[in-house]
A and B are shown apart, each in its own frame.
Chain A
Amino acid sequence: MTGKTFDYAPAPESRAVVDLASSYGLFINGEFTAGAGSASFKTINPATEEVLAEVTEAGEADVDRAVSAARRAYERVWDPVPGRERAKYLFRIARIVQERSRELAVTESLDNGKPIRESRDGDLPLVAAWFFYYAGWADKLGHAGLGTEPRPLGVAGQVIPWNFPLMMLAWKIAPALATGNTVVLKPAETTPLTALLFAEICQQADLPAGVVNILTGAGPTGQALVTHAGVDKVAFTGSTAVGRGIARSLAGTDKRLTLELGGKAANVVFDDAPLDQAVEGIVNGIFFNQGHVCCAGSRLLVQESVAEDVLERLKARMATLRVGDPLDKNTDVGAINSAAQLARIRELSDTGDAEGAERWSAPCTLPDHGFWFAPTIFTGVTQAHRIAREEIFGPVLSVLTFRTPAEAVAKANNTPYGLSAGVWTEKGSRILWMADQLRAGVVWANTFNKFDPASPFGGYKESGYGREGGRHGLAGYLR
């Protein structure tokens, strides 16, 4: 290849498909309603800082109202109705998600900052697939290996993060409804919009009132929800610090709890790996979704003999990443979700410099407005560095090296987290040995960041407990 390469022309996805209201109420008992208090907040487009809509901040009275509605719906409608009928509602929801998928994808990219390529080709297909998958379980629960007549728990209080807003909603709501529970769900405060559109979808599907309730708000709303006496089951996805607090506040109660928390995954590259594929996997592992991924491959462990080669190829590949407008169909890396998250990424990266690691960032022009962070790697990282131990939740990769498989395993497992791990090698027996040794709930071998509703997902150690997805995902909602 010589000389010039073609440059990309802008290829923006149209916003015309999205028609947002200027303000949204809470979705309780099948309808949008004003909050008991007057508190509200604005949700913005992190790529431009433009205000997208005004959203209600639910208080304790609203939580109480939503939990009561969910309880009534559980007792009068959702528990008595046969599984095959519950299934049909879930199939309806899956279909409407597919019908409105472009609108939902564009809204997701607007509110979250993620590239339209990912929301369109990743998040939305998985959302529909999740509802389809669990719809099929609703009338087969006696065959799931959880007893012949498993029973729902009752009202589920669910709190989800901002990194995959609608997908996390689907991971939570689909299995809860399939198993006969009703739901009060709180989306993250920076990404409430697709959850509110999902409330409309529940209306279009004629889902009985109160089966799904959506409360917008921040931490205090979530805390009020998970500690509400009428909630039988809490499902949380988010940071380990918050998850730990929830586990503490549920101690001594009868509430059931599943937690999907942070990670610091090792992505292990052996010297016999197909290096170009491995580099794609490294890039996908840490720069997918701006690194806002709990299972991100944020620690690269590369065998010393190929470290220089891998880093050279990695930098060359990173230089081609297109960072910018999330609605541009050619964009690879979008906006950081919020000013607060950007500040955290900057702070932790600065400790990388301060502790003696060497920073390299992809050469790219960042937009003037909004929240941006260039894809970055740190080399010369040791296991004691904060950037090797703490979850950055951004497009920042810490590179460490190893000599032997045993050393790779020791370093990979040297973390309180245990959500995921990656292995790159051509040797089958080594893949199986590594998969066996790694203390992580998901091991991707010669691939990374793959998700499927049939595949259980969840962590070891301080990455939480319980599994979402697959037959295993039913267990957290049945007794």
Chain B
Amino acid sequence: MSSSDRVDVRKTYKLYVGGAFPRSESGRSYVISDSRGRFLANAAQASRKDGRDAVVAARKAQPSWARRTPYNRGQVLYRAAEVMEDRREQFVEQLRAAEGVGQRKADAYLDAAVDRWVWYAGWADKVAQVLGGANPVAGPYFNLSVPEPTGVVAVMAPADPLLGLVSVVAPAIVTGNTVVVVASRPHPLPAVTLGEVLATSDLPGGVVNVLTGSATEIAPWLASHRDVDALDLSGVDADTDGPDLAHDLEAAAAETLTRVRRPEPGADWLRTPGLDRLSWTLETKTVWHPVGV
């Protein structure tokens, strides 16, 4: 299609915050290389201010996202799967470049990532029946427990740049939480592309906010942020992030009793997930009412 003398139009990789694609307010970027060390792109290097902006966007979007019907949230997640499938080639190419994997492996990860959206989409209107329900109390009371989203979830994405990312973001948002996710530092490009998918999947702006840059720089500000309700450290890696980061983030989160999910080194993202990634960002609310005439 393209003639050899045509110069490509390259894309600038930016952040995805509040439904828009801003550069880092800090004006910084860092070099993304492929598996052989060749230049791929400059990614935005988010600052703590970008982190705070993302939390503001996530908090603003959360109540109305949670108020959508579960049926509607399920359809929006399913839409993300559709749009992602549609962009298959782009994602596969990015995975191959980032990780130096072959076509088959990249295909398998893309398939799994799309299927993961579909899997979680289906949970939207089922999770309350599985995790909640009537409680048989010893008295004349109606008593019902329902799961509710905890609020804003800050996520340190795993190194697995696409499947790992989808595996931590989808379960958080399907129940009505909103997310600020710090993408894998060496391989952030699939995350930015995922932002573009989400921006065209009827997902309201601010439900997912993608930051690229350094977890060691941004995460402490997210962990101690009073408007962050849960902190997912799945992607924190003692080898690359230093031995103390997970401890320091968890200790910072303790100040506001932020819910913490600890690092998961060596997680097998291809495995079909259980319920725990849904349940840990949910609160259980129990309602009592007397029964009588």
B288 touches A457 (CB 8 A): no
A259 within 8 A of B: yes
Binding site for A on B (CB under 8 A): 130-131, 135-139, 141, 143, 145, 150, 229, 244, 246-248, 250-251, 253-257, 259-260, 262, 274-275, 279, 283-290
The residue that A446 contacts in the complex, of B130, B145, B289, with Cβ under 8 A, is B289
Give the number of A-B contacts (CB < 8 Å).
Answer: 105
**Given the complex, which residues of B lie within 8 Å of A464, measured CB to CB?**
257
21 pairs from A and B in contact (CB 8 Å cutoff): A145-B130, A244-B257, A245-B254, A247-B254, A251-B247, A251-B250, A252-B250, A259-B257, A441-B283, A443-B285, A445-B287, A450-B139, A454-B143, A455-B137, A455-B288, A456-B284, A460-B283, A461-B257, A462-B257, A465-B259, A470-B135
Alpha-carbon distance between A66 and B50 when the two chains are bound, in angstroms = 49
**Given the complex, which residues of B lie within 8 Å of A275, measured CB to CB?**
none
**Given the complex, which residues of B lie within 8 Å of A245, measured CB to CB?**
254
Interface residues in A, total, Cβ within 8 A: 43
Which of chain A's residues 117-161 have a Cβ closer than 8 Å to chain B? 129, 145, 147
A446 touches B290 (CB 8 A): yes
A467 within 8 A of B: yes
5 cross-chain pairs, A with B, having the tightest CB-CB distances, nearest first = A252-B247, A251-B250, A247-B254, A452-B137, A251-B251
Chain A residue at minimal CB-CB distance from B137:
A452
Most buried by A among B130, B279, B286, B289: B286
B246 touches A452 (CB 8 A): no
A252 touches B251 (CB 8 A): yes
Q: What is the predominant secondary structure among interface residues of chain B facing chain A?
A: mixed
**Given the complex, which residues of A lie within 8 Å of B286, measured CB to CB?**
441-443, 455-457
B210 to chain A, nearest CB (A): 26
**Given the complex, which residues of A lie within 8 Å of B248, measured CB to CB?**
251
Alpha-carbon distance between A455 and B135 when the two chains are bound, in angstroms = 6
B254 touches A445 (CB 8 A): no
A32 within 8 A of B: no
**Given the complex, which residues of B lie within 8 Å of A47, measured CB to CB?**
none
Most buried by B among A240, A261, A443: A443
Known: A248-B254, A456-B135. A440 touches B289 (CB 8 A): no
**Given the complex, which residues of A lie within 8 Å of B131, measured CB to CB?**
145
B275 touches A145 (CB 8 A): yes
A447 within 8 A of B: yes
A470 touches B251 (CB 8 A): no
A118 to chain B, nearest CB (A): 16
A77 within 8 A of B: no
Binding site for B on A (CB under 8 A): 129, 145, 147, 240, 243-245, 247-248, 250-252, 254, 259, 261, 416, 431, 435, 440-447, 450, 452, 454-458, 460-465, 467, 470, 472, 475
Known: A452-B139, A454-B137, A462-B256. A443 touches B287 (CB 8 A): yes
**Given the complex, which residues of B lie within 8 Å of A416, measured CB to CB?**
256
**Given the complex, which residues of A lie within 8 Å of B288, measured CB to CB?**
442-445, 447, 450, 455
B284 touches A261 (CB 8 A): no
A447 touches B257 (CB 8 A): no
Alpha-carbon distance between A278 and B221 when the two chains are bound, in angstroms = 44
Alpha-carbon distance between A446 and B141 when the two chains are bound, in angstroms = 11
A100 to chain B, nearest CB (A): 21
Given contacts A251-B260, A444-B288, A445-B289, 13 further A-B contacts (CB under 8 A): A247-B250, A247-B257, A251-B251, A416-B256, A441-B285, A443-B288, A445-B287, A446-B289, A454-B143, A456-B286, A460-B150, A472-B145, A472-B284
**Given the complex, which residues of A lie within 8 Å of B287, measured CB to CB?**
435, 442-443, 445
Chain A residue at minimal CB-CB distance from B131:
A145
A248 touches B251 (CB 8 A): yes
B78 to chain A, nearest CB (A): 25
**Given the complex, which residues of A lie within 8 Å of B253, measured CB to CB?**
247, 251
Known: A443-B285, A456-B284. A465 touches B257 (CB 8 A): yes
